[in-house]
């Protein structure tokens, strides 16, 4: 049986420092930074990180070849990561982590010196896009194009200061208000004109994304905002041969949804309703308390079921599914989110059944390893000469970006196979189809 084999690409070596530039020094990013430093010191294990903990099967099951992903692919080492970023507050990463309240002081203190050295640069900020926050640590400039130039200067200064030889930018800033694609986003010329003329439909996250992609720096969007997924920035990523990926880290409730929904569909069980409710009390929850920021998150969370269940193909099972998502800000819980799901399903002869999920999760504990993997894999993509949308990383996102006309894959296990096959392809290994006939040579 002929197997499909990838073409080994030339991948530039991961030599030297990798600068991680983060708009948003908040709960997720400080948990990522503290965890990385702790792993480096041998004080923690990178639980939740596929690149650090996961293996990849190569060849046949009988070959017993399952190296660690980090040994199989030439990823940057955690020792080589250097962190920088921007925020509207001027607190260093240690102070911001204490305020976020995700990690205990006893886990932050051993890495205090390194965390204190990560001081946010002045942010590009506009309250019209995040109404629940305000801060004075922000850039002032005549136009949005001038803000881009200031960000470019920040990035150059960061590289000089740290000696980083490559950069990756990852948006860990607050969820911006709901924005739909407009004419100004429709092509690069219009968009650049809009930057010069301060068009109100260009958000701060778009200013960061443009600044990164223009410099050929891979850009990742960890939030649901409309940012890099607009024709203007998609074409810039092609022009600058730069990889981009997004949107919205897939962590708690949506990760569970993209496990349960495919199981129901695989067994052809019907779904009459899915009610999802969340309470959380961190700053992200406060921002999402604004209906316009919530709308952005809601759109991202709602799209998942529609794409997995394909009601157009299965109208009897999923044509009438009622799907509702709620997020409520509840300060006493801090970052310890609780997500409830009530799932009304039906089986043989239409008999109803219910599934209840109560996920007492920790938002940033789930998000930090996702952010780490994305940083390392996007840097790999860039060194391997990949550019534009990196659909193979959809595993990590609630709302994976895809070219117009293509629906995204949401099923977590299809996404995992896609990711691993892309790594095999990149490294010139056989792709794994799970056909299995190779183990039964005497059967037809």
Where do contacts with ligand NAD occur on this chain (CB under 6 A)? 23-28, 86-89, 100, 123-125, 130, 133, 172-175, 204, 222-223, 248-249, 251-252, 282-284, 287, 363-364, 366-367
Q: Which is nearer to ligand NAD, 80 or 289 (CB)?
A: 289
Count CA within 13 A, CB hemisphere, residue 430. 14
Q: At what angle do helices 253-266 and 291-309 cross, to 10 degrees?
A: 20
Q: Is 243 helix (H, G, I), strand (E, B) or coil?
A: strand
Closest CA to 188 of 235, 246, 239, 127: 235
Q: Which is nearer to ligand NAD, 35 or 173 (CB)?
A: 173
The most distant pair of C-alpha atoms in the chain lies apart, rounded to whole Å, by 75
Nearer to ligand NAD, 242 or 364 (CB): 364
CB nearer to ligand NAD: give 40 or 132. 132
- Pick between residue 24 and residue 46 the one whose CB is nearest to ligand NAD: 24
Give CA 278 to chain center in angstroms. Answer: 20
**Tokens standing for 240?**
């600058």
Query: C-beta of 368: minimal distance to ligand NAD in Å?
Result: 8
Residue 247: CB minimum distance to ligand NAD, A: 9
Characterize the bridge pairing of strands 121-122 and 166-171. unpaired
Q: Closest distance between ligand NAD and the C-beta of residue 301, in Å?
A: 10
CA distance 377 to 244: 11
For residue 367, report the phi and psi dihedrals to the nearest 5 degrees: -80, -30
Q: Which is nearer to ligand NAD, 173 or 218 (CB)?
A: 173
Distance CA 54, CA 36 (A): 17
Min CB(54)–ligand NAD separation in Å: 20
Q: How far is the CB of 207 from ligand NAD (least distance, A)?
A: 8
- Shortest separation between residue 370's beta carbon and ligand NAD, angstroms: 8
Beta-carbon count within 10 A of 63 CB: 10
Q: How far is CA 398 from the centre of its chain?
A: 8
Name the β-bridge partners of 169: 21, 219
Does an H or E element contain 396, and which? Answer: none
Nearer to ligand NAD, 57 or 139 (CB): 139
Q: Which residues 6+ apart lie within 8 Å of 64 measured at CB? A: none
> Which residue lies nearest ligand NAD, judged by its C-beta?
26
Across the beta sheet with 18-23, what order do the strands follow? 121-122, 81-87, 18-23, 166-171, 219-221, 243-245, 388-389
Closer CB to ligand NAD, 72 or 158, in the complex: 158
């Amino acid at each position: 049986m002929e197997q499909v084999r990838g073409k080994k690409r030339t991948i530039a070596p991961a030599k030297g420092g990798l600068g991680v530039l983060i708009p948003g020094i908040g709960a997720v990013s400080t948990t990522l930074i503290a965890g990385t430093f702790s792993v480096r010191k041998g004080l923690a294990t990178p639980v939740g990180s596929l690149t650090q903990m996961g293996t990849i099967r190569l060849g046949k099951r009988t070959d017993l070849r399952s190296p660690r992903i980090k040994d199989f692919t030439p990823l940057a080492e955690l020792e080589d990561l250097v962190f920088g970023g921007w925020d509207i507050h001027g607190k260093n990463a240690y102070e911001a982590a204490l305020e976020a309240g995700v990690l205990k002081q006893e886990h932050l203190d051993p890495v205090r010196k390194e965390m204190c050295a990560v001081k946010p640069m002045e942010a590009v900020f506009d309250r019209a896009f995040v109404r629940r926050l305000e801060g004075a640590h922000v850039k002032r400039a005549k136009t949005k194009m001038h803000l881009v130039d200031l960000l470019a200067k920040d990035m150059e200064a960061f590289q000089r200061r740290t000696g980083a030889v490559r950069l990756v930018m990852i948006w860990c800033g607050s969820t911006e208000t709901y924005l739909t694609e407009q004419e100004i986003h429709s092509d690069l010329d219009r968009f650049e004109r809009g930057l010069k003329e301060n068009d109100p439909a260009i958000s701060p996250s778009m200013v960061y994304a443009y600044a990164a992609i223009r410099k050929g720096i891979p850009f990742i969007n960890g939030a649901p905002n409309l940012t890099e997924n607009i024709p203007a920035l998609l074409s810039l990523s092609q022009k600058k041969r730069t990889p981009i990926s997004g949107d919205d880290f897939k962590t708690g409730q949506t990760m569970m949804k993209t496990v349960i929904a495919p199981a129901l569909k695989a067994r052809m069980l019907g779904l009459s309703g899915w009610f999802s409710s969340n309470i959380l009390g961190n700053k992200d929850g406060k921002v999402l308390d604004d209906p316009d920021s919530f709308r952005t998150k809601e759109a991202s969370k709602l799209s998942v079921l529609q794409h997995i269940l394909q009601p157009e193909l299965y109208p009897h099972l999923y044509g009438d599914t009622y799907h509702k998502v709620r997020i409520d800000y509840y300060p006493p819980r801090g970052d310890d989110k609780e997500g409830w799901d009530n799932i009304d399903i039906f089986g043989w002869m239409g008999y109803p059944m219910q599934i209840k999920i109560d996920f007492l999760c920790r938002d940033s504990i789930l998000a930090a390893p996702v952010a780490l993997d994305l940083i390392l894999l996007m840097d790999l993509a860039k060194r391997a000469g990949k550019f534009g949308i990196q659909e193979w990383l959809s595993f990590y996102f609630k709302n994976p970006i895809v070219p117009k006309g293509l629906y995204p894959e949401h099923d977590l296990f299809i996404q995992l196979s896609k990711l691993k096959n892309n790594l095999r392809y990149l490294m010139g290994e056989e792709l794994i189809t799970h056909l299995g006939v190779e183990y039964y040579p005497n059967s037809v």
